[in-house]
Amino acid sequence: MKKTILAIAFVAIGAVSCKTDKNKTTVGEKKEVAKTENVINTYKANIAESSVAWKGSKPTGSHNGVVSLSKGTLEIESGNVKSGEFIIDMTTIVCEDLKAGDGKEDLEKHLKNADFFDVEKFPTAKFQVASSEVKGGKVHVTGNLTLRDVTKSITIPATITEADDMVTFKSETFSIDRTDFGVTYKSKKIDAALKDKFINDLMEVSFEIKAKK
- C-alpha distances out from residue 143 to 10, 153, 177, Å: 76, 6, 16
Q: Say what percent of the chain tops pLDDT 70.
A: 83
Amino acid code (one letter) for 177? D
d(CA 201, CA 181) in angstroms, rounded, equals 11
> Residue 128: which H helix or E strand, with range?
strand 124-135
Encode pLDDT of 69-85 as tens digits: 999 999 999 889 999 99
pLDDT at residue number 23: 57
**Backbone dihedral region of 137: left (phi > 0), alpha (psi from -120 to 50 degrees) or beta?**
left
Specify the higher pLDDT residue, 161 or 21: 161
Q: Is the predicted pLDDT of residue 200 greater than 60, yes or no? A: yes
Which of 7-16, 20-29, 166-175 has the least mean pLDDT? 7-16
Mean pLDDT of 143-158: 96
- C-alpha distances out from residue 92 to 33, 77, 117, 137, 205, Å: 51, 31, 11, 33, 15
Question: Residue 9: which pLDDT band, with cuts at 50, 70 and 90?
Answer: very low
* pTM for the structure as a whole: 0.80
Q: Is the predicted pLDDT of residue 42 greater than 60, yes or no? A: yes
